[in-house]
Amino acid sequence: MSARATDRVADLKRAMQLIADAVDELPAECRDLAGNALLNITAEAVAQDVGCLEAGRIFARLADLLARGLQPPAREAITLSAFDA
């Protein structure tokens, strides 16, 4: 893995940790909705970053993983492109 890729993974892990910590700090009545809220925010951000077509491909790969019972780890950064086969 290149130094740039290593840095991006480290930054991704840090962002994930900060978000997870922020979710833990939400009021109890909001915590149940955090996953749905994050999914909505994520879908919009991914579509803006890569366009709707590529976002659809990314979410399709994620859907395939979940359908096969392969839940991505909450605290570990993964790249969905690693599951292309």
7 confidence band (pLDDT: 50, 70, 90):
confident
User: What is the residue range of 21's domain?
Assistant: 3-83
* pLDDT 10s digits, 15-44: 889 999 999 999 999 999 999 999 999 999
How far is the C-alpha of 36 from the C-alpha of 54, rounded, in Å?
21
How far is the C-alpha of 18 from the C-alpha of 61, rounded, in Å?
25
pTM above 0.85, yes or no: no
User: What is the total count of domains within the chain?
Assistant: 1
Q: How many residues does the chain have?
A: 85
